[in-house]
Structure 1
Amino acid sequence: MRLQTMDSKVRMKIYLILLIVGSNEGNRELRLLGMLPKTGSGWVGGDSCQVAVRMALDDINNNKNILTDYNLTYDWYDSKCDPGTSVYQMFEIFHENPPYHMLLGGGCSITSEATSQVSYLWNITQFSYGSSSPILSDRKRFPRFFRIALPDQKLNPARIDLMRTFNWKKVATINQALEFFSVVIDDFVQRVQGTEITIISQEIFVNDPLTRVQNLKTHDARIIMTAMYEHKARDVLCAAYKVGLYGPKIVWVFVGWFSSFFWRINLENVGCTVQEMDLAAEGSFITGPVYQNPIEERGVANLTAKEFDALYHSHSTYLPAYKSNDFVAHQCYDNIWVSAIAFNCTIKRMAEIGHPKTLDMFEYADRDINDIIFECMGNTSMTGVSGQIVFTEGADPNRIVKMERIQGGTRELIGHYRQDKFPNGYFEWIEDSIKWKDGNIPRDSTLVTQREVKIPLTLYIPVCVLSAIGICLAISFFAFNIIYRQNRNVKLSSPNINNIILLGCVLCYSSVFVQTTEADSSVTCLTRKLLFSLGFTVTFGGLFSKTWRVYRIFTNKKLLKRTIKDYQLLAIVGGLVGVVLMVMILWAIIAPHTIIVNYLDKQVYLIGNDAEVHLFVRVCHSEYSSYFGWVLYIIQGALLSFGAFLAWETRHVKIQALNDSHQIGLCLYNVVILSAVGLTLSLLLADQEVMMYGITSGCLIIGTTLTQVVIFIPKIHAVYHKVDTNITTMSTGVAATSMNNDSRTHENEGVS
């Protein structure tokens, strides 16, 4: 009986124990510790966050599909946005209270930086809902840290794709000299390395950014990425106004956590008016995280962002005083849900590996359990009321980025960047939301189009026609020489030498057909110079050689018989041509011509939408062209001087058919005048290649034509009007009387 009684008592005790154990299994506690800044001099949005935390705890604990048989609890302390206070209170709570499974917070980056550098020593994972400091991405300094907020450097992929969207390939950066911002710019620079994007200038300032902004203008920066605090952004925009770095051509890119009208407020110490700041800020892009899901979709909590807003603002613990900071509510709500999903993953993983403990039995010495929590956190992906949350790179999630633009003095939403679709992020633009001035997208730099200067057909054809007419004229004179070669007027004028003169004229005319401005071969360069040099030498060499014969005969004071044949004159011309050819050959050997591109910096044309046309011309270049050119000038100048001397000395020989001194004087006058005009204009119009071609060709055609006309028209006139060919001189005392056509005096023998 006692045995039965004892047996019944034992069975009762066992039942009570099982009942107690079963009751405890249904209330296994998973403890969260939160840092909520409710007081202090910094951000005090802890109360706004706590309302969302309570909502999340209720929704999770009432959800049968997550953390089954577990109860999620939340303790908090006031971090005051102060790193010292946060670390001290964390130490105290960790030592006084039962173990916590995760540390949530802080809301301020400085408190997260301070606590996450030591919280991992308790084998605990820290998860922040509001810290966006780029420094927190450093896994070496913060090894067990995650966050739901988007750091500034995670905006860089959106900024880079923004540049690609509008075909901007040149960019400049400017940042405040703080590690917080240097990390952002360094990340941007690293991301664009090896891409089509070029960084043309990187500027850093400590206090006054004026000189750095001036450097941006000097580098012709158009697209400018910034990283700085809000008050420094105002200084930068004011400096931009002062140096003129603003307008529809300039695009500033700022972060999205500035005040809604940051460029208009607190201007007392800035030095610019509101109107000036409006001008400087107009057209700027603003990239920032979204705090609530812009897509109307139901997430893990079966709520849309709008439905959450309605529930949040109608919650029993919500007060109107929380309004200024309730933007953080969506992230605080999702902060709890992500933690719960990570815990749920940990529970399953521990069961799969047969871990001797359950998650509620976690202690700070259980590093292996925290390793599982940390791994599950990194693999978490969910859609919440703040948007899609995906961890792919360390502590930072991939979130939707909000794109805004300052237009008409206000910030306007223009679209979103779906970075949550990593690695294939894309833009979702709001149609017709971007209002470009005059409908033109700004360029990353002045669009420079290179255009080759060519001789226009409207100039080239007339010049060639005139040259062809000149050649035809020379051929006509040549025909005249052949037909009337036995006529005494023609015969006395040395028709063979006249033909040589006509050959030189044809060579000069032919040089006009060669366009050196569009040269594609060194042969072209040499051809034009050779044609002109030989043509000039042959023309005036022939003219002066026969004048030299007249000079030799009619200045013969001793009346000696003197015969000068045509071949002797041809030898003189040939000698002159040989000298010129020698110079040209040496020129081609020592300093051969090459084709270079000469950019005409003074000839720049604006064609609208920040586009310019820069002209260039292909020209002939030789290293020692000036030296060889002067050698030719000296030879030709000596030839002209000698001809002038001969013309002066034979000016008293009165037979027109024989003496060309007057014509030579007129030719010299024309050549000197035209050469002076051509040389002067060529120096003044060194970059005006088309005009240069027109002027030099015009001078050449006029000079060559006048030479032909002056030399041959009098002879044609003498033939058709049978001018007397009596030979008389006045200065030498030598006289001769004309004989009949079949006889000649000893004075003019050999003149044929």
Structure 2
Amino acid sequence: MILGSGCSEVAKTVSLAADLWNIVQVSYSASSPALSNREAYMSFFRTNVADSLYNYARLAIIKHYGWQRVATLHENQEAYSTAVNLFSELLATNGINLTTSESFTVEPGEQIDNLKEKGAWIIFGNFQEVMARKVFCEAYKKKLYGKNYAWFLLGKYSPRWWEVDDNSTSCTSQQIYTALDGYILTDSVPMSLYPDRPTISGHTSAEIAEVFRTRAEQDGLDDGHVTSYASDAYDAMWSIALALDQATKSPNDDSGNAAGPLHEFSYETRETREHFINTLSTLQFEGFSGSVSFTDAGDREGLIEIRQVIDGEETVVGHYSFHGDEQLGSDLNITDIQWPGGSPPKDETTEKIVFSTTPRLYLYVAGGLCAAGVLFASICLLATIILWERSAFYRASPLFLVLGLLGCIGMYVSIFLMGVSSDVIGPENQVLLCTVRSWTMTLSFCLAYGALFAKIYRAHKLLVSKANLWKPGGHFPLMFRSLMSLFLFCVIVLIVWTVWFPIQRDVVSSGNEVR
């Protein structure tokens, strides 16, 4: 049996070669979903959680918050592409809409633009640490962060990875952190949740962790970073030991094939290899990282830890227990996620049309002023009617005064109607209101201006002809015809406009605002 390799690409090559020599391989950190393909990697096992299994934790989170629209962004590498493809299938199976799936090779700028253009609010990312700095630099520039967004990434990044200065971005570490602050990650549990529970070795996880920290300090290692791999490596070695121990005790496997003692092992025979595979497939024990067992594909059925970056530090906010059920037979426990807006973001924008209308205060003020004008014009109109028969009024053509005052009253009314909007009378009456105030303003203007023009024109003719201004004459019919001609012309224009070119209601967007 072989322990390793930790790198997925190397593990693939080793597994293909090891199978030719009937050797079983157990890895502690190779996470590529491709290694779950039993047809290609028949004798591969791993004690770390495969990247594809994080998809179930992500799906559980999506269902927990009731999201129906999500997006993905991944780097163009086989490990990430395979995991995202499996995630897309899982989303489709569970009725979740994948808004867009973006991929990039070197620079993610265009893909970030696409995410924003397509309204992606819940984003799941699969990319390595170096690319993560580029992604969040672009997210900062394009404002793809804040209370309306939720970013989900894989774990395994180094502590405070955004502070690493590798000259790969044009952003400062603070700008990158501004964009990623509050992001959520899924990772395998670095240590059993029950530190005082005895493991297969007889020691508790707390005791093993203390030994590890002591050795790490002696060797000058960063225990916070190494521990996430150390527990899986520890359990991988125990898995191999238990399989070897079982091989010495069980002369036959479940199928009845002879396994033979270990000292009779041969690279040419497949019986011992099959025995190891069967033993590991049914193996279950309490390890440093928790309960250890394997799926039929050789993947670890481990506990997944959900963490969130809060104030620059990763804080545990929940756990997910995977049971291998395609219909999400799982146990999700989320407790302390801190959302920037105080509540989980929406998975899409809610379109709400808010009409821009005249403030009621302005309408009331304008209405009061118009009412004052109507009152004053009405008083003048009443006075004109009362004093109609007096010589001074009669010679001044009181009929035109009355028509002019009526036009002024109509203009005041039309000004008030101009301020009345759909929120007062209802959208269904908006077209009728527009038509009425157009007619009112036009005809009122014709009366008011026509009467004034007729009287001015009369005065002009009398002054030019040097006639007696106070002597009644034949000027009245000409004035009346001029006024009625203008009025009739306006009526004809309004009828043609109303019948053949009616007013239509159209909604024009003046911009969007995200709340």
TM-score normalised by L of structure 1: 0.52
Structure number with bigger Rg: 1
Partner of 1:510: 413
* Per-residue deviation, 1:530: 1.3
Question: Map of 1:226-305 to 2, 5 A cutoff?
Answer: 226-234=125-133, 236=135, 253-264=152-163, 267=166, 282-295=181-194
* 1:163–1:573 distance in 2 versus 1, CA, 3 Å: farther
CA contact (8 A) 2:358 2:420 kept: no
* Amino acid in structure 2 at the alignment position of 1:178: Q
* Amino acid in structure 2 at the alignment position of 1:541: G
**Structure-2 separation of matches of 1:168 and 1:242:** 26
* Per-residue deviation, 1:196: 5.9
Partner of 1:35: 2
* 1:587–1:148 distance in 2 versus 1, CA, 3 Å: farther
Question: Map of 1:660-679 to 2, 5 A cutoff?
Answer: none
* 1:424–1:522 distance in 2 versus 1, CA, 3 Å: farther
CA contact (8 A) 1:170 1:198 kept: yes
* Per-residue deviation, 1:523: 1.0
CA contact (8 A) 1:256 1:287 kept: yes
Listed one character per residue, the Cα deviations across residues 27-60 of structure 1 (whole Å, up to 9, x for unaligned) are: xxxxxxx1125xxxxxxxxxxxxxxxxxxxxxxx
Partner of 1:402: 305
Partner of 1:467: 370
SS of the residue aligned with 2:416? Answer: coil
**Structure-1 separation of matches of 2:28 and 2:211:** 17
**Structure-1 separation of matches of 2:300 and 2:393:** 103
Structure 1 range deviating more: 149-158 or 187-196: 187-196
Partner of 1:531: 440
Partner of 1:579: 489
Listed one character per residue, the Cα deviations across residues 366-402 of structure 1 (whole Å, up to 9, x for unaligned) are: 9999999989977x59564344567678554543211
SS of the residue aligned with 1:452? Answer: coil
Q: How many residues align?
A: 486
CA contact (8 A) 2:197 2:205 kept: no
* Amino acid in structure 2 at the alignment position of 1:329: Y
CA contact (8 A) 1:345 1:376 kept: no
* Per-residue deviation, 1:280: 6.3
Question: Map of 1:292-691 to 2, 5 A cutoff?
Answer: 292-295=191-194, 306=205, 309=208, 326-327=230-231, 328-334=233-239, 350=255, 357=257, 384-385=286-287, 386-388=289-291, 394=297, 396-420=299-323, 422=325, 423-429=328-334, 431=336, 451-514=354-417, 515=419, 517-518=421-422, 520=427, 521-551=430-460, 555-556=464-465, 563-565=474-476, 569-601=479-511, 612=515
Partner of 1:184: 83
* 1:599–1:202 distance in 2 versus 1, CA, 3 Å: same
* Per-residue deviation, 1:259: 2.8
CA contact (8 A) 1:342 1:377 kept: no
**Structure-1 separation of matches of 2:396 and 2:296:** 99
**Structure-2 separation of matches of 1:524 and 1:326:** 77
**Structure-2 separation of matches of 1:197 and 1:466:** 56
CA contact (8 A) 1:299 1:383 kept: no
| Long gaps (5+) in structure 1 | 1-33, 38-80, 82-106, 314-319, 605-610, 613-752
Listed one character per residue, the Cα deviations across residues 404-427 of structure 1 (whole Å, up to 9, x for unaligned) are: 233333333333233348514454
Of all paired residues, the percent bearing the same amino acid is 23
* Per-residue deviation, 1:465: 2.1
CA contact (8 A) 1:203 1:212 kept: no
* Per-residue deviation, 1:226: 3.3
* 1:388–1:341 distance in 2 versus 1, CA, 3 Å: farther
Structure 1 range deviating more: 262-271 or 502-511: 262-271
Listed one character per residue, the Cα deviations across residues 487-506 of structure 1 (whole Å, up to 9, x for unaligned) are: 11111122222222222222
* 1:295–1:492 distance in 2 versus 1, CA, 3 Å: farther
* 1:462–1:127 distance in 2 versus 1, CA, 3 Å: same
* Amino acid in structure 2 at the alignment position of 1:543: L
**Structure-1 separation of matches of 2:167 and 2:464:** 99
| Long gaps (5+) in structure 2 | 213-217
* Per-residue deviation, 1:283: 3.4
**Structure-1 separation of matches of 2:188 and 2:143:** 31
Q: Comparing both chains, which one has the higher relative contact order based on Cα–Cα distances under 8 Å and sequence gaps of 6 or more?
A: 2
CA contact (8 A) 1:504 1:537 kept: yes
**Structure-2 separation of matches of 1:199 and 1:549:** 75
**Structure-2 separation of matches of 1:587 and 1:146:** 81
CA contact (8 A) 1:545 1:573 kept: yes
**Structure-2 separation of matches of 1:588 and 1:579:** 14
**Structure-1 separation of matches of 2:99 and 2:486:** 61
SS of the residue aligned with 1:596? Answer: coil
**Structure-2 separation of matches of 1:463 and 1:339:** 93
* 1:247–1:285 distance in 2 versus 1, CA, 3 Å: same
Listed one character per residue, the Cα deviations across residues 222-279 of structure 1 (whole Å, up to 9, x for unaligned) are: 7654333334445555676788877888765442223334444575887877767666
* Amino acid in structure 1 at the alignment position of 2:439: L
Structure 1 range deviating more: 465-474 or 154-163: 154-163
1:134 aligned onto 2:44: no
* Amino acid in structure 2 at the alignment position of 1:487: R
CA contact (8 A) 1:213 1:240 kept: no
**Structure-1 separation of matches of 2:248 and 2:66:** 45
* Amino acid in structure 1 at the alignment position of 2:53: K
**Structure-2 separation of matches of 1:400 and 1:444:** 27
CA contact (8 A) 2:104 2:111 kept: no
* 1:499–1:393 distance in 2 versus 1, CA, 3 Å: farther
SS of the residue aligned with 2:505? Answer: strand
Listed one character per residue, the Cα deviations across residues 12-36 of structure 1 (whole Å, up to 9, x for unaligned) are: xxxxxxxxxxxxxxxxxxxxxx112
* Per-residue deviation, 1:592: 2.4
**Structure-1 separation of matches of 2:463 and 2:247:** 122
CA contact (8 A) 2:303 2:319 kept: yes
- Pick aligned residue for 2:105 from 197, 205, 224: 205
SS of the residue aligned with 1:202? Answer: strand
**Structure-2 separation of matches of 1:358 and 1:444:** 57
**Structure-2 separation of matches of 1:312 and 1:346:** 37
CA contact (8 A) 2:284 2:292 kept: yes
**Structure-2 separation of matches of 1:413 and 1:470:** 71
Partner of 1:155: 54
**Structure-1 separation of matches of 2:467 and 2:206:** 130
* Amino acid in structure 1 at the alignment position of 2:52: Q
CA contact (8 A) 1:214 1:243 kept: yes
* Per-residue deviation, 1:445: 8.7
* Per-residue deviation, 1:545: 2.8
CA contact (8 A) 1:128 1:335 kept: no
**Structure-2 separation of matches of 1:600 and 1:310:** 61
